[in-house]
Amino acid sequence: MKGVRNEIVRLEDVWVYLEDTLVLEAIDLTIHQNDYIGLIGPNGGGKTTLLKVILGLIEPTRGTVTVFGGTPKEGRKRIGYIPQYAQFDREFPISVLDTVLMGRAGRRGLFRRYTEEDIASAEKALQTVELSRYRDKQIGRLSGGQIQRVFIARALVSNPDLLLLDEPTASVDKYIETEVYDLLDELQSKMAIVIVSHDIGVISVHVNKFACLNHRLFYCGEKKPNLEMIEDAYKCPIDFISHGKKHRVLRRGKK
């Protein structure tokens, strides 16, 4: 029974067509309270779409999605979302603190201004990501890794129970990547995390569950998926790099 009680997200037989293209096919996925899931798969395999389905940004063509016992639209207030990096205008005239505050824009409701409490929790979130001294800087002036952490702070400011990250390290340097993962390791005890990546090597050291997605969910479990499963998901030869055990395995699969 324990497993049922702390279930927070459940997808049952979810199918998604986007402009007549099948993106997700018969997805069954459950996320539990203490999960730290690495969602891997090839580009265009539907990883981002899956996150958006959980967030209620995309309606599934078929199937049901339950988020914190309700619809995604009801449940998403408890989700912190970190979209794919670099989808914003760096000239945008907004300070770091105001960016973080946006994470609370919806819950404060229309016609209301941010309260002292909002600002206090935004400052706390900035502290968590160690960016307090940049609070008044314009967001575009920060480095890539710092912006990424601002977005994490923006997701944290609403005290979420689930954190969804879409390739948070896709376009940042290796040392920033380490920074981001260290931060996530700390947060992991307080909330469930789903992290999208196409680099299984890096995430395998951190996450406690894996999900392989390429339109269908090929594998979901606690063990690191083996090469055959991944190749099955990718359906093409891949370079497989493992950073897990201090040595690297580089193998090219056959067609």
Is residue 98 close enough to count as binding other proteins by CB under 8 A? Answer: yes
Is residue 220 close enough to count as binding other proteins by CB under 8 A? Answer: no
Q: Binding string to other proteins for residues 117 to 156, with x set by CB under 8 A, is what?
A: --------------------xx--x---------------
In Å, how far from its chain's centre is CA 44?
Answer: 16
Is residue 76 close enough to count as binding other proteins by CB under 8 A? Answer: yes
Q: Which of 237, 235, 234, 232 is nearest to 250 (CA)?
A: 237
Q: Residue count at the site for other proteins (CB under 8 A)?
A: 34
From 81, 134, 210, 234, residue interacting with other proteins (rule: CB under 8 A): 81
Beta carbon of residue 195, minimum distance to other proteins (angstroms, whole number) = 17
- 37 membership: H or E segment, kind and range: strand 36-40
Stretch that binds other proteins, among 61-69, 79-87, 123-131, 218-226 (CB under 8 A): 79-87
Rounded to the nearest 5°, which phi and psi values hold at 232? -65, -45
Is residue 94 close enough to count as binding other proteins by CB under 8 A? Answer: yes
**Spatial separation of the C-alpha atoms in residues 158 and 27, rounded to whole Å:** 28
Beta carbon of residue 232, minimum distance to other proteins (angstroms, whole number) = 32
Beta carbon of residue 178, minimum distance to other proteins (angstroms, whole number) = 25
Stretch that binds other proteins, among 92-100, 169-177, 214-222, 233-241 (CB under 8 A): 92-100
Q: Which of 80, 40, 72 is nearest to 192 (CA)?
A: 80
Enumerate long-range contacts of 50-56, CB under 8 Å, 24 or more apart. 50/24, 50/213, 51/81, 51/164, 51/166, 51/194, 51/196, 53/11, 53/14, 53/16, 53/24, 54/9, 54/11, 54/79, 54/164, 54/194, 55/79, 55/81, 55/164
From 30, 34, 95, 159, residue interacting with other proteins (rule: CB under 8 A): 95
Is residue 229 close enough to count as binding other proteins by CB under 8 A? Answer: no
**Spatial separation of the C-alpha atoms in residues 28 and 12, rounded to whole Å:** 5
Nearer residue to other proteins within complex by CB, 135 or 214: 135
Q: Which residues bind other proteins (CB under 8 A)?
A: 55-57, 76-77, 79, 81, 83, 87-89, 91-95, 98-99, 101-108, 110-111, 113-114, 137-138, 141, 158
